[in-house]
Structure 1
Amino acid sequence: MDLVGRKAQLGSLRGILSEAGSRGAAVLVRGAPGIGKTSLLAATGALAESLGFRVLRAVGVEAESDLPFGGLHQLLRPLGPAQTEGSAPHRLVLAAALGHAEAEVPDVFMVGLAVLDLIADVAATAPVLILTDDIQWLDDATVSVLAFMARRVGSEPVVMVGAARDGYRSRLTPDEVTTVPLEPLSDDDAAALLADRAPGLRPAARRRLLAAAAGNPLALTELSRTLGKAADPDETRLPLTERLERAFTDRLATLPAGTRTILRVAALDNGSTLTEIFAAARFLAGDAVGIAELEPALRAGLVSVDGIELRFGHPLMRSAIQQTMPTAERQAAHGALASVLDDHPDRHARHRAAATSAADETVAQALEDVALRAARRGAVAEAVTSLEHAAALSGDAARRTERLLRAADYAVELGRPESVNRLLDHAQSTTLSARQHATAVWLRGSFDEGLGGHPGSVVSLTALAESVAADDRALALRILWSAAQLCFWSEPGPEARHRVLNAVEGMALDDLDPWRLAICAYAAPVERGAFVLNGIQDMTPNDGDDGRAYRMLSTATLLAGGFDAARAFAASGSIGLRAQGRLGLLARTAGAQAWSDIVVGDLGAAISATEEARRLARETTQTMMYALMTAIGAKLAALRGDVDDALRLAEEAEEIGLPAGARPVLAIALIARGTAALAAGRFEEALDHFRRVHDPADPAFQIALRLTAVGDLVDAAMHCGRAESVVPIVAELEDIAAVTPAPVLHAELRLARALLSDDDAAEALFEAALGADLAAWPLIRARTHLAFGEWLRRRRRSVESRDHLRVARDMLDALGAIPWGDKARRELRAAGETSRRRDPDARDQLTPHELQIVQLAAEGLTNREIGRQLYLSHRTVSSHLHRIFPKLGVVSRTELRMVVGDLR
């Protein structure tokens, strides 16, 4: 019969399926155990097949949740060899993840892209429905892939429908997934279902059962089989889930001994093939066991057989059976399974470990090997679980601690502070070596950029690094890098900064070592600015093989004020990080590129980089990086004249950054507010914002980022007649400029000097500012022309002012700094010359995501190549371009190149 009481939910899913030709979707069905999630998914699958969909299915099983990519195996199995065939480089990664090839998977996101490409190819011939039941028990690697795909199927003929129990914490935000909650059935629907399932019940029994089941469809079915017990006063006080489990175990007790043995083995098996279940049951029982012994369970509806696989009628049956097994019986069953899995080393090791209660170094080592294999395949969460179990079985205390520390290190990579703290608590319950202690302390502070630590964290981290430098320099550098990064995110004071410098300079590293350059830049961007900038002159970005090193160099150069070089290092680093699927580091590298693009003035590139960095920071759960990129987005919006967006983004960034004291977030958000006020002509407000950026007592003070807000500070002061209020700040910055060659600071100060000088010296200073090499600083050059033209016009030298104002207008229009281009027009009109209005360009007509695709397409990349760059399917890229061409009025990529070329 039709699903009772689920007409509305099935209707919603029907609507989503009907729109799959124009857009994909991700749906999460939520509800209590037995509420009908599985039935709704089954009905959705049947409906989809009738509409011509290709349906792929996976079901989470608690016993299989530690098998890396186990759910993905289920999902892709119907595709056969196609799942790992093809020329795409990422297909090798998918083959490695599924165990079909030997290759290292640097990040699970590479697997996600390979699966997305594969599903997109399948969807080219028929729309695809992906059904995943009991997501809460799918392995973590599979869930990561599914979340990756769910964020990207909007342009694909692909619908993803998953089901999870109430309380499951989805990795998707509400705007990324449609949630379909399943509530208990209404009284009328519950009565109708019960009448169908148990038509012969007497009225009194029906009333008791309806009350006991509370609208739960599974309870209506199962409790009707044990009505007397279910209606017992003591029994009805139990939670419904526990009553259902007891109902299942009561039914289990009525089965023959051989049948119970099979079901107990199956309940613990992290596989589901009849062959291995029967073999393990024979080993356990010592008797012949086969399909005949399984038959009673089949007749009772407890299990079903699909080909060679055994399936429980409901997950509660499996958990009920597990809970009734005494420890000795459970361990014996695990041992029996291990005995028949010699050809599956990872599963063999896990069952062998589950059969072991005492310390056993051999088993512990086998589990550690399982963990390392899982990590190489990109299944980091499963590596954590295996290492923790290995530690519990370790016979040697030192090995136990090392395994816990390694598990904690992996948990840091996953972004799970609660797991890290739990693992480290266990590790620190015994005496640690100096190196182990240093590792533990360092790992505890690895979240939220280390801002959760105490004010002395920089000093304590540096001391830790110094304590292990002689024995483990690699570890010492990692710890010192954390201390240096904390110098960026907080303000530890000059003594702490010098302590970091002394430590890194005492390690006898090569002058061009990326670690040394980056640590120096983060700890002392002014004092070591010359060292960093001189060092990078001898380093040429190449093909970006070492993405991490180039990411470090890009941010080091940025903090030293060399934003033009920072862009080159960021672009080079992105190549390697994209190829490796290391989206967490890519978010940071794209962030460095975005801020550099903004400071330099390449706002077209900044739009794309900012959007990508912000999206990836959120996807990789880097909270402070997301806040920082949101602040950078606010600055970009202000430069583009989107004042309301700028203020909204600045507020969002501050809500995250202020409680943590994240100075870069607060600094850039405040700079964005000042820029927005400048754009709107609110000069007093702008001045107040920019003065705070330069106030050491303000939580938004950041010694490197303030160097980018000098010209704006003076500009605001001049326009509201308060030049004297900023003279001391500029004088201090002049002293800083004597220490560091930071190009951005010197370029900004040349403009500030001209603005602040008296009339006798101003003209020469403006000319000196424009005479400097500003090829790498188009925004500062344009702003200088604008300021000079404005100065000339106000001194009634209108004819001379026009040349500068025209240059400023044209440059600012080309850069996309709309409020300043409009200001140049107003100044030109006041000088007696009219200007046509700025024509909208691609930056105004396209979303940031579309603009990024256009820029790559204009470089000559194919759809597949663009997809690999942006971690999208080639079909999604094609769909975007199909919508983009009409927006821009072009019909070919040749014309597209011309449009994008006009932005440069």
Structure 2
Amino acid sequence: MIGRDAELAFLRRVAAEARAGRGGAAVVRREAGIGKSALLEQTARDASGMRVLRVTGLEAEAELPFAALHLLLRPARHLVDGLPWAQQAALRVAFGQGRDEAEDRFLVGLALLTLLSDLAEERPLLCLIDDAQWLDRASAEALGFAARRLGADRIAMILAARDGGNGAEPHLHGVPEVRLAGLARPDCEGLLATVAADLAPEARDRVIEEAEGNPLALIEFAGMLTPKQRAGHLVPLPLHPPQLPVVSRVERSLRDAIRLLPERTQRLLLIAAAEGTGNLDLVLRAAKESGAGLPDLEPAERGHMLRVADGRLRFRHPLVKTAAYREAPLVQRVAVHQAVARALDAEEDADRRAWHLSAAAVGPDEHTGDALAAAGDRARQRGSHASSATAYERAAQLTVSPHRRAARLAAAAEAALGAGQLRRARTAAHRGQRLTDDPPVLARLATVAAMADSELGRAAPAAHTLIDAATGVTASAPGDAAAMLATAADDAWFAGDAWFAGDHAALRRAANLLESLTPRADASLAPVIGTVRLVDGEPAVGLALMRAAVPADDRGAGTIVGTYAVFSALMTGDDDAACALAAARVDRCRERGLIGELPHALQLLTQALGCCSHAERAGSVGIPAHCGPAGRWAMTGVSVGVVRRSTRR
């Protein structure tokens, strides 16, 4: 390593502290070619006494849910059976090994954290994740979740990410960063002395000027010079325009080199770049119909473009792969993606086949749209909502029928909402609303738009959106209408500038419609109606409904209905029932690993405990009896740790 002493020292400290039981993480950033991968390699060599887990993000697998996590955890598969049942089930579903549907988007991250912790009990652990900008979003979310919670474990996690990456970036916020600068002039000279010692001073100076401290650029620009240029003749050297970013100049140099290769070799490089994972057998099967074969790789190997070992084809640097792909015209790229899709004929390759067909589509294509929608279904079942949303959105783009496009946009909006991507969800919902007049589809789209608006601070408009949409499905789908109206009442309750000022007009409309649905509507919605009647000036009616409707437990109740049940118990003076219902909800969240729902359940419990007259009740449900209201509110911050410990019981 040349010129990276400070950065190496920092990463070595992260590893050393992990060996001592103080785990931590770091992200190494900057542009391609700056030396991120080399730093990870050196850190692995220095990791004496540590088990090393490694994975590299692949652009070709960026939309395949949990692809990177599956590869990273291969050495820890023997520990999966020892995980708490909820975490074990979540991990199996994420890896496509379970039949159930994922319940909580954070539970896989919790399972990852527990699994790494168990592995680190055997031996300190170093996790190295290269090209993190190409991690699939589900893996990035889980890794980011774990990276911020390693303080008590013998685990170090180091990720290398290129600036300006994809959707993996937000999940790494909060992790300490190391930003690599370009090499200083003496270090550039030292590097060139090792790879191009015969350069004349004039040529060396020009290469250093062009490379701007980027190690890959130094090596590539020196390597492209002719013997006369290396000797200092024909100055200025014919390098690329200086106004281009240095990475673009490196890519152009690589494309120049690729043009000099035989046509079949270029074809093989394009297929390998499009395939993306380095599966040599798959690349050769896809290349067979074009007449290219294994011998045609030799010129690329001689030119140090790639190497082949153990049945894997590895480009020397990701920029070589990028150059090989971008050098080919569109018609060739389309043909290659079609050839790779045909070669991916196994059932387990359905998702990858769908995305290659998508890359080959240049217009509406119902067959490919169906394949992508199916991929979206599988991603949703595995809990990768962001990948699911992307698949549904692309399926909608390829779909001809406006009604089917609207339905797929509804699925995309729901998935984006599940991923916490509120603006993306609202945009997809609004696009779908312009394509259809079908009441059930409009109801789905309105529900997503309203929920996104509510989370973005627009509770009053959200309430009216839901009520309007619910009126269209009261006859055909009363259960769906009831759920929408309950959510609308919740939004209306919290609308306005003052606490509990509420939108009384929306509350009244929601209650009237809910009553018109009974007895077809779920009887558990009576607390919603009762609460609305109480705040709307009909206390006798409201209290009677609420007293009659407080359930013995909240099993089967959704979040909104369960919340109203607790409020009903509190408002009718049944503090014991309120505490019991809220505590049961907290216990269920912990048992099932519902980390996303747990903070709300804890908040509800603290509200119930604040009204209880006996302090010992607080201790009985895990909150210190001496905590006042402020202390009880603060307890919501321990949600992840509590779930992690309690689900291990």
Q: TM-score, normalization: structure 1?
A: 0.64
CA contact (8 A) 1:550 1:572 kept: no
Q: Deviations over 1:354-406 (max 9, x none)?
A: 22333232322222111111111111111111111111121322111100111
CA–CA distance in structure 1, aligned partners of residues 115 and 617 of structure 2: 30
Partner of 2:524: 514
CA contact (8 A) 2:578 2:608 kept: yes
Q: Deviations over 1:337-366 (max 9, x none)?
A: 111111122222222232233323232222
Distance 1:510 1:436, change over 3 A: closer
Deviation at 1:448, TM superposition (A): 6.0
RMSD in angstroms over aligned alpha carbons?
A: 3.3
The DSSP-based 3-state class of the residue aligned with 2:213 is coil
Distance 1:382 1:851, change over 3 A: closer
Deviation at 1:450, TM superposition (A): 5.0
Partner of 1:135: 132
Give the length in aligned residue pairs.
Answer: 624
CA contact (8 A) 1:212 1:231 kept: no
Distance 1:298 1:448, change over 3 A: same
CA contact (8 A) 2:529 2:545 kept: no
Q: Say yes or no: does 1:238 pair with 2:251.
A: no
The DSSP-based 3-state class of the residue aligned with 2:194 is helix
Q: Say yes or no: does 1:371 pair with 2:376.
A: yes
Distance 1:282 1:321, change over 3 A: same
CA contact (8 A) 1:34 1:219 kept: yes
CA–CA distance in structure 2, aligned partners of residues 523 and 185 of structure 1: 70
Q: Say yes or no: does 1:185 pair with 2:190.
A: no
After alignment, is 350-359 or 588-597 more displaced?
350-359
CA–CA distance in structure 1, aligned partners of residues 323 and 482 of structure 2: 50
CA–CA distance in structure 2, aligned partners of residues 451 and 524 of structure 1: 28
The DSSP-based 3-state class of the residue aligned with 1:58 is strand
Partner of 1:40: 39
The aligned amino acid for 1:372 is: D
The DSSP-based 3-state class of the residue aligned with 2:64 is coil
CA contact (8 A) 1:68 1:140 kept: yes
CA contact (8 A) 1:515 1:552 kept: no
CA contact (8 A) 2:79 2:119 kept: no
* Equivalent of residue 289 in structure 1, options 293, 305, 315: 293
Partner of 1:557: 568
The aligned amino acid for 2:644 is: G
Q: Deviations over 1:692-751 (max 9, x none)?
A: xxxxxxxxxxxxxxxxxxxxxxxxxxxxxxxxxxxxxxxxxxxxxxxxxxxxxxxxxxxx
Deviation at 1:522, TM superposition (A): 6.0
- Where does 1:140-155 land on structure 2 (aligned, <5 Å)? 140-155=137-152
CA–CA distance in structure 2, aligned partners of residues 413 and 185 of structure 1: 43
Q: Say yes or no: does 1:867 pair with 2:644.
A: yes
Deviation at 1:102, TM superposition (A): 3.3
Distance 1:226 1:869, change over 3 A: same
Partner of 1:25: 24
CA–CA distance in structure 2, aligned partners of residues 583 and 505 of structure 1: 34
Q: Say yes or no: does 1:170 pair with 2:170.
A: yes
The aligned amino acid for 1:309 is: R
Q: Say yes or no: does 1:225 pair with 2:223.
A: yes
Distance 1:379 1:258, change over 3 A: same
CA–CA distance in structure 2, aligned partners of residues 93 and 230 of structure 1: 61
CA contact (8 A) 2:514 2:529 kept: yes
* Equivalent of residue 458 in structure 1, options 460, 463, 480: 463
Partner of 2:395: 390
Q: Say yes or no: does 1:449 pair with 2:454.
A: yes
Partner of 2:207: 209
* Equivalent of residue 326 in structure 1, options 329, 342, 347: 329
Distance 1:33 1:74, change over 3 A: same
Partner of 2:499: none
Partner of 1:815: 626
CA contact (8 A) 2:405 2:435 kept: no
The aligned amino acid for 2:96 is: G
CA contact (8 A) 1:545 1:573 kept: no
Q: Say yes or no: does 1:406 pair with 2:411.
A: yes
Q: Say yes or no: does 1:95 pair with 2:92.
A: yes
Distance 1:442 1:253, change over 3 A: same
The DSSP-based 3-state class of the residue aligned with 1:337 is helix
CA contact (8 A) 1:566 1:592 kept: no
Partner of 1:313: 316
Larger radius of gyration: 1
Distance 1:852 1:92, change over 3 A: closer
- Where does 1:482-501 land on structure 2 (aligned, <5 Å)? 482-491=487-496, 492-501=502-511
The DSSP-based 3-state class of the residue aligned with 2:357 is helix
Partner of 1:339: 342
Deviation at 1:126, TM superposition (A): 0.7
CA contact (8 A) 1:297 1:303 kept: yes
The DSSP-based 3-state class of the residue aligned with 2:25 is strand
Larger relative contact order (C-alpha < 8 A, sep ≥ 6)? 2
CA–CA distance in structure 1, aligned partners of residues 332 and 640 of structure 2: 59
Deviation at 1:424, TM superposition (A): 3.1
Q: TM-score, normalization: structure 2?
A: 0.87
CA–CA distance in structure 1, aligned partners of residues 158 and 94 of structure 2: 23
The DSSP-based 3-state class of the residue aligned with 2:182 is coil
Distance 1:384 1:306, change over 3 A: farther
Q: Deviations over 1:538-580 (max 9, x none)?
A: x2127x4656477434554377365542322222223433344
The DSSP-based 3-state class of the residue aligned with 1:335 is helix
- Where does 1:296-695 land on structure 2 (aligned, <5 Å)? 296-343=299-346, 344-447=349-452, 449-450=454-455, 452-453=457-458, 457-491=462-496, 492-509=502-519, 513-518=523-528, 520-521=530-531, 524-525=534-535, 527=539, 529-537=542-550, 539-541=551-553, 544=555, 548=559, 551-557=562-568, 560=571, 562-600=574-612
Q: Deviations over 1:295-345 (max 9, x none)?
A: 332332322334222222222222222222222211111111111111122
Partner of 1:891: none
List alignment gaps of at least 5 residues for structure 1: 612-639, 641-813, 820-842, 857-865, 875-904
Deviation at 1:31, TM superposition (A): 1.3
CA contact (8 A) 1:184 1:216 kept: yes
CA contact (8 A) 2:282 2:343 kept: yes
CA contact (8 A) 2:492 2:504 kept: no
After alignment, is 343-352 or 441-450 more displaced?
441-450
The DSSP-based 3-state class of the residue aligned with 1:815 is coil
CA–CA distance in structure 2, aligned partners of residues 572 and 409 of structure 1: 28
Deviation at 1:455, TM superposition (A): 5.0
CA–CA distance in structure 2, aligned partners of residues 608 and 204 of structure 1: 79
Q: Deviations over 1:841-899 (max 9, x none)?
A: xx99xx95999999x8xxxxxxxxx73536xx79xxxxxxxxxxxxxxxxxxxxxxxxx
Distance 1:234 1:488, change over 3 A: same
CA contact (8 A) 1:438 1:465 kept: yes
List alignment gaps of at least 5 residues for structure 2: 230-234, 497-501
Partner of 1:682: none
The aligned amino acid for 2:215 is: P
The DSSP-based 3-state class of the residue aligned with 1:163 is strand
The aligned amino acid for 2:23 is: G
Distance 1:215 1:451, change over 3 A: closer
Distance 1:446 1:848, change over 3 A: closer
CA–CA distance in structure 2, aligned partners of residues 603 and 161 of structure 1: 46
Distance 1:331 1:84, change over 3 A: farther
After alignment, is 120-129 or 473-482 more displaced?
473-482
CA–CA distance in structure 1, aligned partners of residues 413 and 183 of structure 2: 44
CA–CA distance in structure 2, aligned partners of residues 366 and 850 of structure 1: 42
CA contact (8 A) 1:517 1:532 kept: yes
Matched-pair identity in %: 32
Deviation at 1:410, TM superposition (A): 0.9
CA–CA distance in structure 1, aligned partners of residues 5 and 569 of structure 2: 58
CA contact (8 A) 2:83 2:111 kept: no
Deviation at 1:276, TM superposition (A): 0.8
The DSSP-based 3-state class of the residue aligned with 1:411 is helix
Partner of 1:13: 11
The DSSP-based 3-state class of the residue aligned with 1:27 is strand
